[in-house]
Amino acid sequence: VPAGHYKYEKLSGWVRVQRKERKKFREGRQASISEERIKKLDELDFEWAPLSQENKDEAWNERFEEFAVFRAKYGDAIVKKNTRLGSWLRLQRAEYRKWKEGKHSSMTDERAQKIDNLGFDWDPTDRLSM
């Protein structure tokens, strides 16, 4: 459930509460969630820790694969800004800049190389200023 998305605002809040209450329950603190409800949510494959590193890596790889398919299909890396893939690529550029400046970033050598191998333009403004 996308956090903060206006269409899912109530559901997003409910999900956040379930995660918080489960954490309290597991810590032995008073919580409004029962073991039975936790089991029911587990049966639905409820994602208790969506921001774990494993999940972040999985999400990154999914977007990368989406980009690779786009690149193969269209022969270029020009993606509309207002799409999920376009947003992801903008984020990669920002993370790449931070990484190059020695700042904390989710970019790694491996990720940068994978994106480079698809002919990605890290700074398209350089191309425009020629």
Give the model confidence (pLDDT) of 63-89 as tens digits.
999 999 999 999 887 888 778 899 899
Those residues with Cβ within 8 angstroms of residue 105's Cβ, 6 or more apart along the chain or in another chain: 95, 96, 98, 99
| pLDDT value at residue 7 | 79
Q: Is pLDDT of 49 > 60? A: yes
Considering the entire predicted model, what is its pTM?
Answer: 0.60
Token pair for 75: 């022969």
Q: What is the mean pLDDT of the chain?
A: 88
Residue with tokens 């350089």: 126
Predicted local confidence at residue 8, as pLDDT:
81
- How far apart (Å, rounded) are the C-alpha atoms in residues 73 and 103? 34
pLDDT at position 5, please? Answer: 64
